[in-house]
Structure 1
Amino acid sequence: MTTSDTFTRTIAELDGGDTALAFDVMRELRPHLTDADEFAELVRAQRREGYRLVVAFDEKDRLVSLAGFRHMTNLYAGPHLYIDDLSTLPSARGQGHAGALLRWVDDEARRLGCAGVHLDSGTPRHDAHRLYLASGFVIPAFHFAKSV
């Protein structure tokens, strides 16, 4: 599905063959990724688990933002879309690309009959938190993790 909004922004879902196009944008969020081919292989593995990658292109057809998500069902939330990754190039931040992707994901959740959209966000990402809250997200819980 490809859509355009009033700001001549194009949103499209990437398939396996063009995944590496999103490497530079993903690296802004996941700096431990250092190789585009390795990134594409990791995404390919995640696709087997339902991972999808949707991207936003600016008015000059540059890929500037992405959202990686999956359709999940669990006991606490029922069927929902879970956003694993949301990233925008620094030069394109504040221009509405991530918000447009969040609206696209909301529409896809409705289309799939999901009860909602969920995501986790690192505690120091205050700009991202403002976007999520402005987009209708709430903070219903803390996420705990530990290494083993």
Structure 2
Amino acid sequence: MTVQELTDFTPAYPVLLELRPNLGSLEDFLAQAKQQQAHGYRMIAAYDDGEVAAVAGFRAGLCFAWGHHVYVDDLVTAPSARRRGHGAALLEWIDAEARRIGAEQVHLDSGTHRHDAHRRYLASGFAISSFHFTKKTPEV
């Protein structure tokens, strides 16, 4: 298994679609990815026998609550590649990158129903530190 940063996000699309089924077409995905990259979004992939087995998208940030941090936006393993250490490898890579850029913390949110993912995050040293609240903005 190897982990490497992607400059072309095309190979990640089928795997990321597992987590984000609302991505739309490949062209829509790549257009949005380009916009997100302009705001510091980066993506890595874990490869197994030359195929993308898992992907993670993340960005560095600075805020009063967390200081200099890395936020993991997306983290998913293809169903056929689960429970083989790909998620752990991606999180280890992100930890190393966070240290390299001087980030003090790594953060992520996870859907309440993703119990297998929660076990991975807890095993990787994450703690459940808060609830994340969301609402849609009112119609204008």
Classify the TM-score, shorter chain: over 0.9
TM-score, with length taken from structure 2: 0.96
Aligned pair partner of 1:32 in 22, 36, 40: 22
Alignment-mate amino acid for residue 94 of structure 2: V
Aligned pair partner of 1:121 in 85, 99, 110: 110
Aligned counterpart, 1:3: none
Alignment-mate amino acid for residue 80 of structure 2: S
Aligned counterpart, 1:6: none
Q: Is residue 103 of structure 1 aligned with residue 92 of structure 2?
A: yes
Gaps of 5+ in 1: 1-8
- Which residues of 2 match residues 1-148 of structure 1 at below 5 A? 9-15=1-7, 18-58=8-48, 60-148=49-137
RMSD of aligned residue pairs (Cα, Å): 0.7
State the identity %: 50
Question: Secondary structure in 1 aligned to 2:88?
Answer: helix
Number of residue-to-residue matches in the alignment:
137
Aligned counterpart, 1:4: none
How far apart are residue 34 of structure 1 and its match?
Answer: 2.7
Alignment-mate amino acid for residue 111 of structure 1: R
Gaps of 5+ in 2: none
Q: Are the aligned partners of 1:55 and 1:67 in contact in 2 as well (CA < 8 Å)?
A: yes
Q: Are the aligned partners of 1:55 and 1:101 in contact in 2 as well (CA < 8 Å)?
A: yes
CA distance in 2, matches of 1:121, 1:76: 19
Question: Secondary structure in 2 aligned to 1:122?
Answer: coil
Q: Are the aligned partners of 1:83 and 1:117 in contact in 2 as well (CA < 8 Å)?
A: yes
- Of stretches 134-143 and 33-42 in structure 1, the one that deviates more from structure 2 is 33-42
